Amino acid sequence: MSGTADAHCPALIDAIGPLSYGALAERVDALAATLPDVDAGRRLVHVPLAARRDLVLAYLAVLQAGHVALVTPSEHTSITTAYSPDLRLREDGTFDGPGRTEPRHLLHHDLALLLSTSGSTGSPKLVRLSHTNLTSNADAIIAALSITPADRAVTSLPLHYCFGLSVLHAQLRAGATTVLWPGSVTEPAFGSEIRRNHVTLLPATPHVADLLDVQGVLDDLPSLRLLAQAGGALPSARVSELAARGRANGWDLAVMYGQTEATARMAVLPPELADLYPDAVGWPIAGSAFRLDTAGIDQPVGPDPVGELVFSGPGVMLGYAEHADDLALGRMHAELRTGDLARIDGDGLVRIVGRRSDHVKIMGIRIDLGQVERVLRDNGVVCCVTGTDEQLQITYQRCGRQAGAVRDQAASAAGLGVSVVSVRDLDELPVLPNGKTDRRACAALHTTDAIDDAGEATDSLAAVTSVLAPLVGHASIDPDRSFAELGGDSFNHVAASLKLTRLLGTLPPDWHHRPVRELVALSPGRQARRSLIQRVETTVVLRGVAVLTICGSHVGLFRLAGGAHILLAAGGFLFARYVLAASETADRVRRTTRAAITIAVPAMIVAAVMVFGFRSIHWSNLALVHWLVRPQDINIFWFVEALLMVSVLTTAVLAVPRMRAAYSLDPWRTAMVALAVLLVPRYLVPALFDGPVRGLPGTVAWLFVAGIAMAVAGTRRRSAVTAVVAAVATIGFFPDGERNLIILCGLAVLALLPAAPIPGLLVRPLGVLAAASLHIYLVQFQVLSLFDDPIVEFAVALVAGVVFCAASTFVLRWLPLPDPTGGSPIRRRATTMHPARKDRPCVDARS
């Protein structure tokens, strides 16, 4: 803890509130006073450390009192069994002990902390660290990351993990603030916590960075100064991407390299050099050094020699402890052999190029394969343990052993989840001519899954192209183009989305702009696709549910009005995805014309039947201008007329060079300005005129534009702002609050929920209804007059709409509609979003 920290500055922040350095010192002193006097013998104190105020204070009290902290996750009891502690930290933050007057263990005077190694979590092997290890490493991290008292770091990593604990040490040493987050980084509230507490430093392993990125957290952190990454290697392209993202959002990326055996971090790449050296881990921290041991290393081709990276400095551990007697040992290591193969250039810059065969790193956890093998053999499992960066591979001799039990033992020994442990059983392990186990042959047995996955990917690609080809009207498609580039639009979007979901599993929000080949590569696999619950795009769900509420309300089964207004917002959402995503005005005009024809032709067919067959509506409905000719009359086709009019006007407005430039520069801001303008008639027209004016294009245009803003928001913060504005505009739109509430809920879901969980059995029927939503809306008015039973009316309207949709789709395929791609998908100039790869062959769906 810093001796120069301002007593009034916050040291810790949690759900209770801030705890100042002055109050922290008092609490730590008080807890330390409850521990036995070190003059009577130093004690081993078990601390199941987590991001809770009472546990952190107790941990600091153990160090301050001069005792030794045994820090573990709470669930790892094997360690406390091997090293029976003198005292244990209770759940309430107080200490419990057997009341012994004599300590159980002889503890070396330099020993301060015991941590599990990243390769032996859950086994008795521990890293012995001294006070000097902890303070020197914290000071070096402070210098490397320029940490000041103004910085606030969040516990995005477990505190029993050396990286997570080093963050706490460095923050306290610098007199800075640590925000204690007890939950997972996947919780939606995590981003809000960072923003609310003005976090400036965010530690992350590659896995954590990916989780935050998927949630959109990294794009919405105005206070963030630094993303500090360690715990595994980031690909060079990912380093460059994150560095660029950081610059755009006001933060830097610091790439680091470390191990528990070196207390925490050993090297840091300064943020300003991340773009220049994305393949490097940086230079050694202050007071430390690297060297290479090239003995026995096969030299790959390169300008610099490759060797095992060896680290020296004040952060190198005292040594390992494998049983209780080792706690009395002093320093056993002057330097640390990392197990990593590296190059060091003339300027001292370190690049990791591989690992020795006895170490792998899975999900950011460095695994000692020999240690895992020893644990299994000690449990009677004759085995060979190999691995890659994706999986731990266990090949074992059967002798009645169940694969599940072996997998569980291996996962526990390595500190991994069972999902990344591959198990193969044999009658006998393969051996080399010299009698040693053939490790390469054992590893090869585990590549079968990869081969199966490759075969599945090939099958999936053929299946995907066979699904998309008829939807976009081509016999063969280029798998390196996206659905939108191939000619997909908002009308075949539903069918494509649901069919791809069934084939590939949950789709990313921007799937329609990703190359088809990439979608296949992202497939989560067979098991995920067989899940009882599938995540379906929100626009699809809203269209299916809205048309049910519209039709059911009209026949009198229930009253859930407002579905058509939600559909209008969903229409704007999809309009932004498919029409406005085109960069050129000509492309947008072609797409808008195609969409307008697809909407207008079915509507005019139904209107013609009603005008000439039943004379039940005015001719202006047939011309789709009833809103203009008779604005005060009830207009059953108001939704179609509004959708057409607003779509065409949006394309026309964005054809103006200045407006087109503004939208290209920042689509969301432009859409929000347009939304603000369109809120004027939304409030003005109902206030000045009586009658059904809430279906006029000018009155409901704000819903369409709100959908556009939701589609292009890009960040969770912008999505939330759009949702709030739309919700406020919904309040009071109709005299009845129930309808306003339904519309408000629909808009909120559209803005904030990219996909919704749906029972697998309901996905197909929901998709059919969503695809036919326009046609059900159109034909329901004919069905209403044919039957007396509302349930029959409801069912017949749905069936008639689905049949009409199928017939309409068949007819429209033969009409000379404008090609939304501006020509053949093979000849079309690539959009700026996904450049075309013209050297790749097309996949013929007929094959």
What does the mean pLDDT of the chain come to? 83
| pLDDT attached to residue 523 | 57
Query: Is pLDDT larger for residue 524 or for residue 763?
Result: 763
Name residue 747's amino acid: L
* Average pLDDT value for residue range 143-171: 95
**How many residues are recorded in the chain?**
847
Residues 6+ apart with CB under 8 A from 729: 679, 682, 702, 706
Residue 533 has pLDDT above 90, yes or no: no
What does the pLDDT average to over 450-468? Answer: 54
CB proximity list for 17: less than 8 A, separation 6 or greater:
none
Q: What pLDDT is stored for residue 784 in this prediction?
A: 67
Instruction: Give the model's pLDDT for residue 829.
Output: 31
Confidence of residue 156 (pLDDT cuts 50, 70, 90): very high
Q: Which CATH architecture has domain 10-335?
A: 3-Layer(aba) Sandwich (3.40)
For range 397-424, the mean pLDDT:
82
Question: For residue 280, what pLDDT is reported?
Answer: 94
Three-class secondary structure of residue 425 per DSSP: strand
How many C-alpha atoms does 30 have within 13 Å on its Cβ side? 10
pLDDT of residue 299: 53
Q: For residue 446, what pLDDT is reported?
A: 78
Where are the chain's structural domains?
10-335, 359-429, 450-531, 539-812
Q: Confidence class of residue 20 from pLDDT cuts 50, 70 and 90?
A: very high
Q: Is pLDDT of 633 > 80?
A: no
Give the model's pLDDT for residue 474.
60
**Separation of alpha carbons 645 and 635, rounded Å:** 15
Stretch 602-626: mean pLDDT, rounded?
Answer: 82
What residue type is 367 in one-letter code? I
Return the CATH architecture of domain 450-531. Answer: Orthogonal Bundle (1.10)
Residue 832 pLDDT level (bands cut at 50, 70, 90): very low
**pLDDT exceeds 80 at position 114:** yes
Query: Quick check: 121 pLDDT over 70?
Result: no
* Residues 183-200: tens digit of each pLDDT: 888 888 899 999 999 999
For CA atoms 189, 191, 193, 196, the dihedral sign is negative
pLDDT, tens digit (0-9, with 9 covering 90-100), for 360-376: 777 667 787 877 887 88
- What CATH topology corresponds to 359-429? GMP Synthetase; Chain A, domain 3 (3.30.300)
pLDDT band at 153 (very low <50, low <70, confident <90, very high): very high
What pLDDT does residue 833 have? 34
* 530, pLDDT greater than 50: no
| pLDDT at res. 294 | 83
pLDDT band at residue 28, thresholds of 50, 70 and 90?
Answer: very high
pLDDT computed for residue 263 by the predictor: 94
User: Average pLDDT for residues 485-509, to the nearest whole number?
Assistant: 73
At residue 92 the predicted structure's pLDDT band, cuts being 50, 70 and 90, is: confident
Query: Is a pLDDT exceeding 90 seen at residue 612?
Result: no
Work out the number of other CB atoms within 10 angstroms of the CB of residue 656.
12
Whether the pLDDT of residue 41 is over 50: the answer is yes
Stretch 738-762: mean pLDDT: 89
> Can you tell me the distance from the alpha carbon of 249 to that of 513, in angstroms, rounded to the nearest whole number?
23
Give the whole-number percent of the chain exceeding pLDDT 70.
Answer: 84
Q: How many CB atoms lie within 10 A of CB 379?
A: 14
Instruction: With cut-offs at 50, 70 and 90, classify the pLDDT of residue 93.
Output: confident
Q: Reply yes or no on whether the pLDDT at 528 is more than 90.
A: no
pLDDT digits (tens, 9 = 90+) for 547-590: 899 888 887 888 888 888 999 999 999 999 888 887 678 888 98
317 pLDDT higher than 90: yes
The confidence score (pLDDT) of residue 518 equals: 67
34, 63, 784 from 38: Cα distances, Å:
12, 11, 88
Q: Is the pLDDT of residue 448 over 60?
A: no
- Pick the most confident of 264-273, 665-674, 794-803: 264-273
Higher per-residue confidence, 291 vs 405: 291
Residues 6+ apart with CB under 8 A from 478: 486, 516, 825, 826, 836, 837, 840, 842, 843
pLDDT score at 531: 54
Of 503-507, 651-655, 777-781, the range with the highest mean pLDDT is 651-655
| 147-153 mean pLDDT | 96
pLDDT of 681-708, one tens digit each?
Answer: 999 998 888 777 888 899 999 999 999 9
Q: Residue 238, SS3? A: helix
Which segment, 223-232, 363-372, 837-846, is predicted with the most confidence on average? 223-232
pLDDT at 390 over 90: no
What predicted TM-score, i.e. pTM, was given to this entire model?
0.50
CB 846 within 8 A of CB 514: no
Of residues 781 and 120, more confidence is placed in 781
pLDDT of residue 99: 56
Token pair for 101: 């007057």
